[in-house]
Amino acid sequence: MSDLPPDLDRLRTLETWLALSLKRVREEIAAAERPTQPRRSPRKPAAARPAVARREPTPDWGISSAGIGRSVAEIHRGDCFAGGVMQPLSAERARAELADGVQPCGVCRPDRVLNRT
């Protein structure tokens, strides 16, 4: 069952109203964006532009080393804020490291996701 009117005349009226409403919304968006757009200088030729540094994709899992005096390794989810600098790991490798006794992070708890038993 449709919530739209069944006859063509009312459908055309609704279409006109929606088109006018969409036009007004787009005008308001354009007006709101105008003052916030910074003035841009002319584009430099491609050769003169500096290269953009590309970020490496976030790994699904990682291992980090921390500790004072002796190194303590922890397994983390790739998006864990507590991981610091991590070496990327596959899920299989992360499971193997956990099985070998490497500690899971207490913040992101990768052992719960990796089904550690």
**Could you give the strand order of the β-sheet that contains 61-66, starting from the edge strand earlier in sequence?**
87-89, 61-66, 72-77, 103-104
What average pLDDT does range 17-24 have in this prediction?
Answer: 91
User: Does residue 104 lie in a domain region?
Assistant: yes
User: What's residue 41's pLDDT?
Assistant: 61
Q: Which positions ≥6 away from 93 have C-beta within 8 Å?
A: 61
For the chain, the average pLDDT equals: 81
- State pLDDT tens for residues 48-65: 666 677 777 778 888 887
**What is the domain count for the chain?**
2
Span 24-32, mean pLDDT? 88
Same domain, 69 and 27: no
- 49 found inside a domain: no
| Domain assignment present for 90 | yes
> Are 70 and 105 found together in one domain?
yes
Residue 48 counted as domain residue: no
Residue-number span of the structural domain to which 98 is assigned: 61-113
